[in-house]
Each structure stands twice: as C-alpha cells, then as structure tokens.
Amino acid sequence: METVKAILFDTFGTVVDWRGSVAGEIERLAREKGIDDIDGDAFARAWRAGYQPGMEEVRSGRRPWTSIDVVHRERLDAIVGDFGLAGLSDGERDDLNRAWHRLDPWPDSLPGLRRLHQRFILGPLSNGSTQLLINIAKRVGLPWDVIGSSDAFRSFKPQAEMYLGAVSMLDMEPGEVMMAAAHNDDLKHAQSHGMRTAFICRPYEYGVDQVKDLEATGDWDFVVDGIDELADRLLSSGGSSFSAGK
Amino acid sequence: METVKAILFDTFGTVVDWRGSVAGEIERLAREKGIDDIDGDAFARAWRAGYQPGMEEVRSGRRPWTSIDVVHRERLDAIVGDFGLAGLSDGERDDLNRAWHRLDPWPDSLPGLRRLHQRFILGPLSNGSTQLLINIAKRVGLPWDVIGSSDAFRSFKPQAEMYLGAVSMLDMEPGEVMMAAAHNDDLKHAQSHGMRTAFICRPYEYGVDQVKDLEATGDWDFVVDGIDELADRLLSSGGSSFSAGK
C-alpha cells in the first residue's frame, strides 16, 4: 500500500447514513403537517428505490445528462401521495429534496477521515452532484481535498468515465488511488480499472431491506467494519504525513 | 451581497506568494549545489515570465490541451542554464517544478479564508492543475470546499469556459458566485459573465517588476487589501452561517 496517495469514498451508505437521515427529515416534516403515523424509514427506502432506475435512464442513453438532484426530485413527486404528503407545495418539495444534501455521517466516518486526511488526499467519488457533495461535507466537516461528482464527469457509477475521470483528475496512476465503498459492485468496477479497493461493511444501510453487501464478495485490498478501522489499518505501517513533494 | 453563496479565489498571487516561495526554494537548492550568489527572486520572475506565453499557445489552439505543470516544466528547462543550474538532473527538475505545489499563503490568507468558510462555499478558480491546487491547499490547510482548476475545464483563464464552468459546477446563478483576485483583468472577465467581484490588492506580487494591478481599475463590488479585510467586509452584515438548506 506504499503507493496509495489518494482515497476516494463512495458517499451514500458508505460515509453517510442516507436512510436514517432522510427518515428523520420526513418524520419531522410529517409531524409539522399533523401526520403522526408516517413510516419515515419506509419513505426513505421508497425514495431510494428510484435511484438506480433513474440513473439507468441516463446511463443507457435514453435520457440526456440529468443531475441526481433532478432524479431525486422526480422520485419524490412520484411517492409523496403514497405517504399522505401529496399536499406538499413546490417549495416544500424543493426543501425536502435537499434532505439528500443534509445527510449525517456514520459515527466512525468523521474520526476515521480526519486521521486519514493527515496522510492521504481524500474525496468522495459519488453519484451525487457537486453541490450535494459540498453541502454534505460542509455541514458536518468532512475533510475532503477534492470533489469527485457525477456531474463533474457527466456519468454515473459504475460507468468507466467516473473511475477513469477521477484518476485522471488527480493526475495519478490507477494503482495510486483507492476506492472505498460499502458496495461490492462499485469496488469490482474500480478494481477493473486498476484502482486499489477497500470494502467498508455497512450492514444497516438499507435496514430491513438489505439483502446484499452484507459481506465482501471480491478480493479487495482491505475489508473493514468502518472508516476508523480503515485508518487503523492504513496508518499502522507508520508512514509519514502527506507531502506535496511526492 | 445577500445573494452571494460561493467565493472563488484566484490563487497565484492572490492567495499565495509564488514569488517569495519559489525564490526560497531556488536559493535553498542552489546552496546545496554550492552556488551562493543566485538571485532567487530573479529566477522566480523569469520562471513566471513563461506562464502567460505558455498558456497562450493552448488558448490560441496552436497546441492541444496541456497541463500547467507541463508549461512550468518547459519554462524551467529553458531558464536553468541562465542561472548556472543546467546540471540539475531530471529528477531534481521534477522536484523543483513542484515548488509550484508548495507555495506559501500571504499572511492574511489563512485567517481570512477560515472566517469566510463559516458562511460561504470557498474554492480556488485558478489556472493551476487540480493536483497542484490540492497540494497547495493541503500543505497549509486552505479550507477549500471544491477545486476549480484549469484541467477540470480544459481551459485557462480568461477563457469563458473557466468562469462559466465554475458557476455551472456549483449549480448556481452567476450572481451567486464572487470572483476574488489580485488581477483586474481576471475580475473584468468574471464580471462580464455576471459574477460578483472582489479586488484584493497585492502590490508586492511581482516585486520590482510590478507595474500593474497596483490598484483597482474597474467597478468591483469590493476593493480590499487582504482576504482578512474581505472577511471583515462580508461578515459585518451579520448574516447567518452556511446552511445546506439554502
């Protein structure tokens, strides 16, 4: 691992708990509207269920480039009625859509990232938009050095443009960049392009719906239970701090 | 100024003192080589003199896209002989070229940026490469939220792609983004695309060579003597902290 200079993190599910964060926002909003019995967790999962199909319309070429913020908003409009929230105004929907810009990190994320930041260049490599990724980071202090977003490369993972674009953006060799993700499929694609890999197990990402990514299914460089553990593993070799001269 | 959400900073000369930093590296290296009488300041200015002509080859279309790191390296090769350093090896030249990744901020930059970071999205908008801008920031702790580099937009300021690309990357309106620079020409172009402007006076950027940008020559939104003063001015209105919901 001596050659790894940068670590790029999948964000939704790997760094932040989208399900718990979105569920919390939904339940708060519903209470304001006098609705007491909404299942915020089910709402979050129903919202997320539109994520891959929405991106697939773009990846397939059936739809021109579309930001994930638009994909999120369209799915929101499609499901609000099922949860008794069809009366939300346009402005209320806009604000709720930005729940995806206000996701909270898993408890180990911030401590682990802060330690890794001393030695590695860090950034997200996410299907989120640049603004979404900035907003998530800035709200809680994620120590990113650079933002790897879907709209920077006008593609969505697992399209090759995302991985190759990020490596090129950093002006590094693929083996100098590690992809860290809670999703085996993401790592499989990163590895196919020559990147290093770290699987961060997040068995509660989807809650009761979670049927995959409960364990590593590939030959990854690291398999850990959190970002703090990744820091333990990567920093235990006692290497020096980040140096701009290298 | 209520609408400004992001401030993008020119980097060379505005945030960092390239002349003093490069001169220091040259003088250190020359001493190691037993050369006592090198004029580091003159070397830095001679190196920088290749900057605009090198970019102009690319801007004009005479040369395909070329990173600023390559432009810097070619100019270095062209001038080392004039300063008695023709004997530098390839590896030594590579390392010296990365002096541009190790530039020190002006004394007011870090305090000012840290204060502005509480309320605004901050980033460079620079003709530097992504890696160069990351390395400068990471070495001294510049609190960037996003990196606006020449290779992100495959163009060099003052090409429109840089300003429009940065505004688009942030998914904002031009009037929500402020360009802060020590160079009137940079601000003139930013303003022509609808961006807000702040002139940060840096009369010592070029030292004895400096003949322009000694004062504001346009109708800029702010004219200040440092980034700390820009923070004073922008934060004095007592606005709230950054909010991902806005």
CATH code (residue A46)? 1.10.150.240
Q: Name the closest residue on chain B to residue A99, using Cα atoms.
A: B245
- Close Cβ partners of A43 (under 8 Å, ≥ 6 residues apart): A22, A23, A26, A79, A83
- B66 and B111, same domain (yes or no): no
Chain A residues in contact with B145 (beta carbon < 8 A): 134, 137-138, 144, 147
Q: Does a structural domain hold residue B85?
A: yes
Q: Does a structural domain hold residue B240?
A: no
- A143 and A203, same domain (yes or no): yes
- Close Cβ partners of B164 (under 8 Å, ≥ 6 residues apart): B193
- Peptide bond before residue B158 is cis, with ω within 30 degrees of 0: yes
- Closest to B137 measured CA to CA, from B9, B36, B23, B45: B9
Among A125, A134, A243, A246, pick the best mutation site for testing chain B contact (most B Cβ within 10 A).
A134
- A162 and A193, same domain (yes or no): yes
Q: Which residue among A38, A69, A101 closes a domain?
A: A101
Among A28, A146, A176, pick the best mutation site for testing chain B contact (most B Cβ within 10 A).
A146
List residues of chain A with CB under 8 Å from any CB of chain B: 67, 69, 95, 98, 101-102, 121, 129-131, 134-139, 144-147, 151-152, 169-172, 242, 244-245
Angstrom CA distances, A23 to A43, A109, A126, B93, B103, stand at 7, 20, 21, 55, 45
- B113 and B212, same domain (yes or no): yes
Number of structural domains found in chain B: 2
Residue A115: per-residue pLDDT: 98
Q: Which residue among A77, A101, A125 closes a domain?
A: A101
- Say which residue the tokens 């008695």 belong to: B84
Q: Please check whether residue A242 is in contact with residue A119, taking contact to mean a CB–CB distance below 8 angstroms.
A: yes
Chain B residues in contact with A146 (beta carbon < 8 A): 130, 134, 147
- Residue of B95, B121, B136 with shortest CB distance to A245: B95
- A87 and A151, same domain (yes or no): no
The count of C-alpha atoms lying within 13 angstroms of the C-alpha of B10, restricted to the half-sphere facing its C-beta, is 27
Q: Please check whether residue B238 is in contact with residue B51, taking contact to mean a CB–CB distance below 8 angstroms.
A: no
Q: Please check whether residue B138 is in contact with residue A145, taking contact to mean a CB–CB distance below 8 angstroms.
A: yes
Cβ pair B95:A135 closer than 8 A: no
Q: Does a structural domain hold residue B242?
A: no
B150: CATH:
3.40.50.1000
- A128 and A12, same domain (yes or no): yes
- B22 and B97, same domain (yes or no): yes
A-to-B residue pairs, Cβ atoms closer than 8 angstroms: 74
Residue A242: per-residue pLDDT: 74
Chain B residues in contact with A169 (beta carbon < 8 A): 130, 151-152
Q: Does a structural domain hold residue B71?
A: yes
Chain B residues in contact with A134 (beta carbon < 8 A): 121, 145-146, 170
- B206 and B183, same domain (yes or no): yes
Q: Name the closest residue on chain A to residue B94, using Cα atoms.
A: A245
- A86 and A118, same domain (yes or no): no
- Residue of A95, A152, A172 with shortest CB distance to B245: A95
Residue A215 C-alpha, separation from nearest chain B C-alpha, in angstroms: 33
Q: Does a structural domain hold residue A111?
A: yes
- Residue of A135, A171, A242 with shortest CB distance to B138: A242
Range of the domain at A114: 6-17+103-235
Q: Which residue among B67, B101, B135 closes a domain?
A: B101
Read out DSSP for chain B? -TT--EEEE--BTTTB-HHHHHHHHHHHHHHHTT-----HHHHHHHHHTTHHHHHHHHHTTSS----HHHHHHHHHHHHGGGGT-TT--HHHHHHHHGGGGSPPBPTTHHHHHHHHTTTSEEEEB-SS-HHHHHHHHHHHT---SS-B-HHHHT--TTSHHHHHHHHHHTT--GGGEEEEES-HHHHHHHHHTT-EEEEE--TTSSGGG--S-SS--S--SEEESSHHHHHHHHHTT------TT-
Cβ pair A242:B137 closer than 8 A: no
Cβ pair B147:A147 closer than 8 A: yes
Cβ pair B242:A139 closer than 8 A: yes
Cβ pair A134:B121 closer than 8 A: yes
- Say which residue the tokens 């020119």 belong to: B10
Cβ pair A130:B169 closer than 8 A: yes
Segments of chain A scoring below 70 in pLDDT: 1, 237-240, 244-246
Residue A124 C-alpha, separation from nearest chain B C-alpha, in angstroms: 11
- B226 and B127, same domain (yes or no): yes
Residue A96 C-alpha, separation from nearest chain B C-alpha, in angstroms: 9
For residues A13 and A78, what is the distance between their CA atoms, to the nearest angstrom? 23
Residue B236: per-residue pLDDT: 85
Q: Does a structural domain hold residue A218?
A: yes
Residue A123: per-residue pLDDT: 98
Q: Does a structural domain hold residue A52?
A: yes
Cβ pair A244:B139 closer than 8 A: yes
- Residue of A131, A137, A171 with shortest CB distance to B129: A171
**How many other C-beta atoms lie within 10 A of the C-beta of residue B35?**
14
- A140 and A231, same domain (yes or no): yes
- Helices and strands counted in chain A (H then E): 11, 5
The residue ranges of DSSP E strands in chain A, in sequence order, are 6-9, 121-124, 177-181, 196-200, 222-224
- B116 and B228, same domain (yes or no): yes
For residues A14 and A9, what is the distance between their CA atoms, to the nearest angstrom? 7
Structure tokens, A49: 């269920």
Chain A residues in contact with B135 (beta carbon < 8 A): 244
Segments of chain B scoring below 70 in pLDDT: 1, 237-240, 245-246
Among B171, B240, B246, pick the best mutation site for testing chain A contact (most A Cβ within 10 A).
B171
Q: Does a structural domain hold residue B243?
A: no
